[in-house]
Amino acid sequence: MARTIGATLVALCALMVSNADARTGYLVGAAKADSPPQTLPGVYLVGYGIGPVHPAKGGLRPIYARAIAIRDRAGRQVVIEALDLQGHFLAYQQGPYGFADIQADIARRLGIPPARVLIQSTHTHNGPDGLGAWGGVPDSYLAYVKAQAEAATVAAVRSERPARLRFGTANMTGFSGTFGSNSDATRTGDQADYPLDNQLRVLQAVGPRGHVIATLVNYSSHPTVYGPLDKVSPDWPGATATFLEHDERGIAPRARYGYPGSVAIVTTGAVGHAWPAGAPRGTDARVDPSPKSDNGPADIYGNAVARMAIGAVKHPRYVTGSRVAGVSSDVDVANANPVLLAMLSGAAPGYHIMRSFTPPWGYGDVLVTRTLALRIGQLVYFSAPGEAYPSIEAALRRDVHAPLAFISSLADDQLGYIEKPSDYNGAAQCSTTDEWFFTISPTFGADLLSAARHNASALGFRVASENDYGTGPLPPSTNCTQQQAGLQLPQIKLP
């Protein structure tokens, strides 16, 4: 019986792959599974302040796990998945709830290697605290997130159908700000020393008859439109997704927007100290809610991002050939932050970061994390296991020769800010608490870039290499410090 079932599955897979003909090139499926907490006691929200200060008292909008599966004509698959969470760890102290456990289960169930399954948290700052620094969540919720992430992936794979892949970009200048935005007339802040990643990237799967199956959006801005709430919400990534899916609340059923019947996977890019600054392309009264509605701020910003994504593929380029692949590399991160080390070990009273720090994911004060790179035709997709600064995206775009390079922060793991040493040096001046508190190592970014370039080279991309350990121009602009802190700190010198 087992051999008969196995032979049937092989035959079905062969038939599916043969259907990915020259006109389409790929088989693509997408799906979503809802993932809100089933009960609220013990669930804390994350991202504002520190410690258990925001217990969840309700839900503002649904949160989901959304996945896209892409198979080439040779039968190889990659999966990209986004979870509406502030962050999630590669592995947990409590049990098998981490990204590594999800990837291992998918490998067993579907035969897709872990190196081809990229899972990201969208980084919503009103999502359940799967990290532990803000009060945490019950283990039962971690188990539920894992089950729903796997369910979305399985459903995406099972819904695969012939598709062409097209891609495009949009210039998002003015949508986000950085240090000093509060007193900058343009609200975009200090662009000289902390330039933003203003490129929105879109990958879209289109069926043979022109219907959109899935839209993958990659944009670099913190999901912090609301500010702190006491309700679970997905912030602007959730609003962007529901707009693209034609699944908004409070809009007339006949209103034309988005792609009915599709799934939108919204991933956040190089979000390190980049946050929403407004929607400079304006609003659309036909589909945007009143700013006073319960979800108005996120809907207005998220819908604007969605319209930019739609515009990005109006005159698209197409992914050529039919090839997907993925590779991963481990990154050893020496924890140079004694407070984070104390919170990991439970030695800080009232705070307990739940990330595993025992072998194979940690050895004393060294944490072992992972970074992936995926190849989809001629495109490359990178993961960053924390909040990558825009300088990380810029370095990869500069050094890896591909028509388009995507990057997902908070993917594979959540180890705080990922900065080049020069970023760390200047950001410590501009953010005297937050930047220091959530930076595990000033060389994390340089080490990640080295691993990412290695991965890209292994996937066949031409790669230039540069030394990222230098401190850069000194000192960086102190405008941000004068605006935010009203003082000037001494320059921090790295060994």
What are the tens digits of pLDDT across the range 271-328?
998 999 989 888 888 888 887 888 888 999 999 999 999 999 999 999 999 999 999 9
Kindly tell me if the per-residue pLDDT of 486 is higher than 80. no
DSSP type of residue 411: B
19: pLDDT strictly greater than 70 = no
Taking the C-alpha atoms of residue 65 and residue 153, their distance in angstroms, rounded to an integer, is: 9
CB-CB contact of 439 with 424 (8 Å): yes
pLDDT, residue 485, reads 43
Query: What's residue 80's pLDDT?
Result: 98
Strands, DSSP E only, in 409-457?
Answer: 417-418
Q: Which residue has the tokens 């991202």?
A: 47
Q: What is the pLDDT of residue 15?
A: 42
| DSSP states of 5-27 | HHHHHHHHHHHHHHHS-TTT-EE
Cα(114)–Cα(122) distance, rounded to whole angstroms?
20
Asked if pLDDT for residue 155 goes beyond 70, the answer is yes
- Residue-level pLDDT at 281: 87
Give the integer Cα–Cα distance in Å for 400 and 392.
12
pLDDT at 24: 64
Q: Which residue has the tokens 């012939």?
A: 162
Cβ atoms of 263 and 30 within 8 Å: the answer is yes
Torsions phi, psi for 263 (to 5 deg): -120, 135
Question: Where in the chain are the domains?
Answer: 13-495
DSSP for 29-58, written as a single string: EEEEEE---S--TT-BB-SSSSSS--B--E
Decide if 182 contacts 481 (C-beta within 8 A). no
Quick check: 429 pLDDT over 70? Answer: no
pLDDT tens digits for range 24-74: 689 999 999 999 998 899 999 987 878 888 899 999 999 999 999 999 999
How far apart (Å, rounded) are the C-alpha atoms in residues 176 and 222? 9
Higher pLDDT, 261 or 351: 261
Average confidence (pLDDT) over 441-462: 95
The predicted-structure confidence for 401-424, as pLDDT tens digits, reads as follows: 999 999 999 999 999 999 988 787
Residue 482 has pLDDT above 70, yes or no: no
Distance CA 453, CA 449 (A): 6
Location of structure tokens 């599955």 = 9
Band of pLDDT at residue 103, cut at 50, 70 and 90:
very high
